[in-house]
Amino acid sequence: MASLSWREQFDIGRFLRGEKAVDGPVVLGHRRIFILPNRYGWALALLLAVQLLVATNYSNNLAFILCFLIGSIALVGILHGFRNLAGTVVRPGRVEPVFAGDDAIFEVYLDNPARFARMALRVGWRGSRPLTLDIPPGGDRLLRLPVTAGRRGWMPIPTLVLASSFPLGLFRAWSLINLPLRALVYPAPAPDPLPFPEQAGQGQGQLFHADDFRGFQAYQPGDPLRRIHWKGVAKGQPVQVKEYRGERQSELYFDWDRTPGNDVEGRLSQLCRWVLDAERAGLRFGLKLPGLDLPPALGPAHGTRCLEALALFGL
């Protein structure tokens, strides 16, 4: 755990936003865990203060004993509450790209290296409804926490809150954790599909019939999945694709200047729709944006590059 300067140690903002994100797992220690009474704890403190005042006024030893006994139990609860969080390891997981308006799923791992269980942990993003869980001794938990993606581009992970009121429910121990995770948000595809743009010297491809079947050839990365000889794959044969006589590979070029749309986001949404439709149809396509030209190609990797270019355009 990296050390903090004196200024960082006494920074009040650390209690409100947590420490800055660091690479690798985060181990919860005394520096990251905060404890304060909740409303039940403050109510008990008020009750004990009144009881202490009454015991002092009437010099009642039994009242003194009861007051100090309950107060001692509450103080022991603070120690157990801290122990319930201390040593927990928080590790960032994976996050897949999503389209604007969908939920980005952030994976977070909680590891318990201790010999005792972590009880009644509440985990969630700040301001959202948390999950309640237990972690067995030496166990771990994988959490998949959703966040609604807003605008396209890089979306950072919100602040993660790990809290617990164990064991008495009188004190809330919590830790604010910032993880080095972010999700890539693609533009939302246009809701209304439009025909692919027509370019000079390029067409939508040539239709072929079963009678034009010529044979099989070895599968190459990027070949359309619909042309794979699945029956042969099921029999344990090498992966092959069907080849047709007179076939001409379809090829498209999606040009920013030829894309309809009233604004930048509208054009990006339409380009995103064309990229998805062309990849689904197994067509070769290229993408031309101001300052970027991706030549026609096939395959999921090419489609991902195009979507990334659309997501980060102008940012």
pLDDT at residue 5 above 80? no
| pLDDT greater at residue 221 or residue 230 | 230
User: What global pTM score does this model have?
Assistant: 0.77
**pLDDT of 209 higher than 50:** no
The closest alpha carbon to 175, from 8, 39, 28, belongs to 28
The backbone torsions φ and ψ at residue 87, rounded to the nearest 5 degrees and listed phi first, read: 90, -10
pLDDT confidence of residue 202: 43
Nearest-angstrom CA–CA distance, 71 and 168: 12
pLDDT in tens, 107-165: 999 999 999 999 999 999 998 899 999 999 999 999 999 999 989 999 998 999 999 99
Among 15-19, 61-65, 149-153, 219-223, which is the least confidently predicted range? Answer: 219-223
User: Residue 280 has what DSSP assignment?
Assistant: H
Range from 52-61, 90-99, 229-238, 247-256 carrying the lowest mean pLDDT: 247-256
Cis ω for the linkage preceding 167 (within 30 of 0): yes
The predicted pLDDT at position 2 comes to 56
Return phi, psi of residue 192, to 5°: -105, 115
Neighbour-count burial of 75, counting CB atoms closer than 10 A to its CB (0-12 exposed, 13-18 middle, 19+ buried): exposed
Phi first, then psi: give them for residue 96, nearest 5 degrees. -90, 150
**Tens-place pLDDT, residues 23-57:** 889 999 988 999 999 999 999 999 999 999 999 99
Q: Which residues are within 8 A (CB) of 234 and not within 5 positions of it... i.e. 6 or more apart? A: none
Q: How far is CA 221 from CA 159, 182, 224, 283, in A?
A: 40, 29, 9, 14
Distance CA 121, CA 4 (A): 27
Output DSSP code: residue 20.
Answer: P
Half-sphere exposure of 300 (CA within 13 A, CB side): 2
Q: Give backbone dihedrals phi and psi of 95, rounded to 5 degrees, phi first.
A: -145, 130
Quick one: pLDDT at residue 108? 96
Q: Name the band, by pLDDT with cuts 50, 70 and 90, for residue 8.
A: low
